[in-house]
Every structure is written in structure tokens, then in C-alpha cells.
Amino acid sequence: MLALTHLVVGAALGSAGEDRRRGALAGVVSHALLDGIGHDDVTIGFRGQAALVAVGVAALALTWGPGSAVTAGGLAGILPDSEIALMKLRRRSTGFLLFPSHWQREGRRGTHPYRFPGPDVPVGVEVALSLAACAALCVAGHRRRRRSSRLNP
């Protein structure tokens, strides 16, 4: 999945409570589950993904707060992909990867060790849904902060 999708799903799970540790754990677990869905995260490219994530992280941190469970869940959701990003920054196409859903099958680069049945998610649909979900989370965060400031002047 796109890093933005991992960010948004982790953030959404983090919004279920106030505990940053639980939000972070949920974000990492969701990463493993989402990677089982057929997807195309190559078309957008490394820079495109970095730009989408930077905007998403900034938006969530500004609306929910940088130390919130939402932001922690979102950051933890993308954390496993940092090993892929480091590999790309070093201009390597292969390397030892720690996160199980990143392990490639021998001789089948680009495949995952597990896939759930069903069609791949088209990249355009994934981007649109992730951006819409991120916007919805930001609206919810903004409303929550406004409501909180009214109650505690």
C-alpha cells in the first residue's frame, strides 16, 4: 500500500483512543494487514510518496497535535516502510528487510509472502480514498480542538 494509506489507517486507529502506545501498536499491525491487499505502490514513485506523506503528517499533526494518539498511530503505520525508504536512498534494489510483509519470495521480486484473495486496488482509487480519509480525519481533529477550546477557555 501507499505510505499515505498506511499513515491514514494508523491515524484512524489511533483516533479510537487517547493512548499513544496503543495507537502506535495498532498502526504497525495495520501495516502488516494492509500489505496483504494487492496494490501498486511503485507507480507514484519514491518522491511522490514522500510528498504525500509529508503533507499527510503535517495535516494530522496540525489538527490533532504532534503528540496525539492519532499522529502516533499514523507515524507508526508508516514506520515499517522506513526500511524500504532507506534502501531506496542508498540506491539499492534489494537488502535485508525486517518487516515480514516486505520479505520477497525468492526469484519473484515485487511479490509479498502473503496476499489476500481479490483484485489489486488501482493506485488512483487508493490515492483518492486516502486523501479523502485524511481530510475527514483532519476535519474531525479540527472540530475536536474547537470543542475542547470552548469547554476550557
Contact in structure between 60 and 135 (CB atoms under 8 Å):
no
Degrees to nearest 5, angle at CA 89 with 58 and 56: 15
0.85 cut: is pTM over it?
yes
The predicted pLDDT at position 110 comes to: 55
Instruction: Work out the percent of the chain whose per-residue pLDDT is above 90.
Output: 56
Contact in structure between 27 and 77 (CB atoms under 8 Å):
yes
Measured CA to CA, the distance from residue 28 to residue 114 in angstroms comes to: 17
* Domain locations along the chain: 3-151
Q: Considering only CA atoms, which of 102, 120, 121, 99 is closest in space to residue 111?
A: 102
Q: How confident is the model at residue 113 (pLDDT cuts 50, 70, 90)?
A: low
DSSP category for residue 104: P
Q: Pick 151 or 62 by higher pLDDT.
A: 62
The predicted pLDDT at position 137 comes to: 96
CA distances from 68 to 57, 116, 133, 150 (A): 12, 32, 18, 19
The predicted pLDDT at position 48 comes to: 93
Contact in structure between 70 and 4 (CB atoms under 8 Å):
no
